Amino acid sequence: MNFDALMLEMAVALLALLILVADLLMEPGQSRRKLGYLAIAGLTGLLLVSLGRYGMQGAFFNGLFLQDDYALFFKQTFLIGAILVCLFSLDTVDNLPHSRAEFYVLLLFAVVGMMILASANDLITLYVGIELMTFSFFILVGYVLCETKSTEAAIKYLVLASAASAVMLYGMSLLFGIAGQLSYNALAKGLTASPALIVGGVMVLSGFAFKIAAPPFHMWAPDVYEGAPIPVTALLAMGSKAAGFAAMVRIFAEVFPGTGYPWPLLLLLLSGAAMLVGNLAAIPQTNLKRMLAYSSVAQAGYLLTGMLSGGFAGVKGVLFYLMIYVFANVGAFAVLTAVSRHRNGETIGDIAGLSRKAPVLAVVMTVSLLSMAGIPPLAGFVGKFFLFSSAIDAGYLWIAVLGFVLSMVSVYYYLNVVKSMYLGAPADDRPFEIAMPVRVTAVFAMAATLAMGVYPGPLSQLAETAAKTVFK
């Protein structure tokens, strides 16, 4: 068996176990910040190692787990997201009333689950990745036991995610019943037109729709985003969504195209519903985490437009957009972390006057939000251009027009936050203290968003290289 294909997953898991052992060896009252730095250093080292692994194709255990450029691109996305989340969460974790080291351990195991999803080439492997990621998030969402919202969010996520997982698993069993095989290659050859295929395919798609927060399976997102600790919300918003798309794209590119059913029609409906519901529901929100939750629903709709073509250009657009979404998301949540720590609130009113107290954070938040809206010359504009142009080339002009119009609608609620930061009156006169890890994370995320918007070439080429793997 080719264990080299599992190198990154095994390394992240060993890093998590190392942090757990180190925690046991430390004094009970000692700060666990060093363990956070250890997690950041380990993940950064693995990210650097991964840069030299492009072009290394391989498989583990008869092709059930793939090592290819497509999976590697997503794994780098997860690593970058986890590094930045760990960095801006150092102070947040330090102030937790209990189990500080376990926070990093659970976060790393969530990343392992995401990585497995990116490489899965078999329904059982896919399900293992989903459950490892989801179980880690069950605990992370409810990590602050003394907060009612956190506990409530964890219970809601547990119940709804378990139901979605059961539906997806039953759909997988129907696909297995038709084809008699579990690997994607065998499913592509063995699936035959039947009512069971439609039911099974819809059930599997429903499970993915839950993970990416697409309507009508999105109702968990606002409550869970609001109740979870901010670093967990950030990783859930970008990591869970990216992992869902990593597995979803591979299945819809390799398994379903030859079945003869119009699966793009379902993706079309999901895309339109996500853009409409996400953008319209975000308008009246006053809590920033709930607003970003509905914004995340809309982002899922934009990404689904890239899948409609079922071709190389669309997959490239999805990969490109998911990477830039990480930086925009991290920038927004890093600022929200500083605001929440200073003013003990997460509403648009709490961010009022931020430009006078912390002008750097105000600029970071503005750049992050406008990038999500797709305003040039920020990275979000380039990403939406790739997604919508692939949909137009595939003949789905109206969904691209709808996406463009609703992107302009999103400018309204994003600018509402910007207006509060620059024109609103500060809630108090206290000096705004920004922890250095938060400042570094926020500025780095903003710089990356600006750089990839002005000069998207390197990331575009990397996404192109990864996308070609799916259509080789």
288, HSE (Cβ side, Cα atoms, 13 Å): 30
Q: How confident is the model over 277-302, as pLDDT tens digits?
A: 999 999 999 999 999 999 999 999 99
> How deeply is 190 buried, as exposed, middle or buried, from its count of CB atoms within 10 A (0-12, 13-18, 19+)?
middle
Residues 312/467, Cβ–Cβ less than 8 Å: yes
Place of tokens 């929100």: 285
Residue 109 has pLDDT above 70, yes or no: yes
Q: What is the pLDDT of residues 451-464, one digit of tens each?
A: 999 999 899 999 99
Question: Which of 67-76, 343-352, 355-364, 429-438 shows the lowest mean pLDDT across its residues?
Answer: 429-438
Residue 448, pLDDT > 70, answer: yes
Alpha-carbon distance 278 to 283, whole Å? 9
Q: Is the dihedral of CA 327, 75, 218, 208 positive or negative?
A: positive
Could you report the per-residue pLDDT of 17-44, keeping only the tens digit for each? 999 999 888 877 677 788 899 999 999 9
- pTM to 2 decimals? 0.94
Closest to 276 measured CA to CA, from 246, 238, 241, 305:
305
Residue 470 confidence class, pLDDT cut points 50, 70, 90: confident
Kindly report the number of other CB atoms within 10 A of residue 299's CB atom. Answer: 29
Residue 415 · residue 325 · CB < 8 Å:
no
| Tens-digit pLDDT profile for residues 196-245 | 888 988 999 999 999 999 988 988 999 999 989 999 999 999 888 999 99
Domain ranges of the chain: 1-161+215-244, 264-472
CB 99 within 8 A of CB 115: no
On whether the CB atoms of residues 14 and 43 are closer than 8 A, the answer is: no
Per-residue model confidence as pLDDT tens digits over 385-397: 999 999 998 888 9
| 238 secondary structure, DSSP code | I
**pLDDT given for residue 297 in this prediction:** 94
pLDDT digits (tens, 9 = 90+) for 159-193: 999 999 999 999 999 999 988 888 888 888 888 77
Tell me which residue has tokens 């500080």.
100
pLDDT band for 342, please (50, 70, 90 cuts).
confident
Element (H, E) at 60: strand 58-60
Using one digit for the tens of pLDDT, what is the confidence trace for 262-282?
778 888 999 999 999 999 999
Q: Are the CB atoms for 161 and 228 separated by under 8 Å?
A: no
Q: 């003394």: which residue's tokens? A: 146
- Sequence-ordered list of residues with C-beta below 8 angstroms from that of 284, at least 6 positions apart, any chain: none
52: number of Cβ within 10 Å: 8
Check whether 259 has a pLDDT greater than 70.
no
Residue 46 is predicted with a pLDDT of 94
Q: Return the pLDDT at 459.
A: 92
Give the integer Cα–Cα distance in Å for 270 and 229: 29
Compare 310 and 67 and report the one with higher pLDDT.
67
Q: How many whole angstroms separate alpha carbon 146 and alpha carbon 314? A: 45
CB distance 147 to 110 below 8 Å:
no
Q: What is the pLDDT of residue 2?
A: 67
Task: State the Rg of the chain over Cα.
Answer: 21
310 near 253, Cβ under 8 Å? yes
Confidence of residue 472 (pLDDT cuts 50, 70, 90): low
* pLDDT at residue 415, as a whole number: 93
pLDDT tens by residue, 135-147: 999 999 988 877 8
Name every residue whose Cβ is closer than 8 Å to that of residue 466 and which is 6 or more positions away in sequence.
69, 70, 72, 73, 74, 316, 319
pLDDT digits (tens, 9 = 90+) for 56-105: 777 777 778 888 899 999 999 999 999 999 999 988 888 777 767 889 99
Q: Specify the amino acid at residue 221.
A: A
Q: How confident is the model at residue 383 (pLDDT cuts 50, 70, 90)?
A: very high
- Asked if pLDDT for residue 330 goes beyond 70, the answer is yes
